[in-house]
Chain A
Amino acid sequence: MNIGQILKILDASLLTSDALPQKKVESAYCADLMSDVLSFSVTRSLLITGLTNPQVIRTAEMAAIEMVVFIQDKKPDMQTIRLAEEKHIPLLSTSYSMFDTCGRLYENGLRSHAYAR
């Protein structure tokens, strides 16, 4: 699934300035616990979270996560957005809840690593 599809499915806005239409993810993982992301997420994935601190970007960077969606209109501060831009990790913000964000992506074919094709 590419970034354009995700933006559309989630009625999301892009917070980072990088135009990366070719960025794709193969699976998704959702958590507010970065320890879980570091333990259980996989590479080339989308992280869905309600946390907006800079450690989210660091976690995504270390775990080779492609992009991050913040739920319920949450937005990180400018410093965090700049860090993401520096690391070429697009940040998206959606008004949907965690449940609805995951549900909409699932409905459109995105799966967790365990079920990704």
Chain B
Amino acid sequence: MPEIEEGIFFLTGKDFTNAGAASSSLKAVLERIGIPKDIIRRTAIAAFEAEMNTIIYAVAGMLKYRITDSEIVVTIQDMGPGIPDIDLALTEGYSTAPDYIRAMGFGSGMGLPNIKKNSDRLTVNSIVGEGTTVEFMIKLKDEAQ
């Protein structure tokens, strides 16, 4: 039977001091269980982008991960304003971030496109006024193998 590793981290909106702590903890889990470095980097970058989105836009949220012998699935669910047009939000360069976020080096409209670039599957579900769920999957094994 394959071993499954899973966990959850809670995120607080506007807590920029701890922004990235959840992705950092996830990265430590991946290192501990011996995931290849290139996959760790892709997962950590995608998770951090999603975590930053929650910190920037939402009141609160959570980051859940589930690692099986074939894939890593990360789900970031937030209580935020929601995304009215997901296709538009997935366009490189489209952003609704305020200036103070841009001054921190984020909010240039690269977040969701970069999660897509680093993952093998991305799904975004959102309800305006309720929140957004971003889930991405990264394969650990080629299906051909």
Contact = CB atoms under 8 A, between A and B. Distances in A.
Interface stretch (B20-28, B71-79, B83-91, B125-133): B20-28
Interface string B97-133: 0000000111111110110010000000000000000
Contact of B44 (A51, A53, A56, A62): A62
Contacts of B113: 39
Interface residues of A, number: 23
A43 B45 CA distance: 12
Interface stretch (A1-9, A27-35, A106-114): A27-35
Nearest to B18: A54
B96 interface: no
Contact of A38 (B24, B40, B48, B107): B48
Nearest to B49: A38
B22 to A, nearest CB: 10
B107 A62 contact: no
Q: Which of B38, B41, B104, B105 has the most CB of A within 10 A?
A: B105
16 contacts: A31-B105, A38-B45, A38-B48, A39-B117, A43-B37, A51-B105, A54-B16, A55-B52, A55-B104, A56-B105, A58-B20, A58-B23, A58-B48, A59-B48, A62-B45, A64-B40
Interface of B: 16-17, 19-20, 23-24, 27, 37-38, 40-41, 44-45, 47-49, 52, 104-111, 113-114, 117
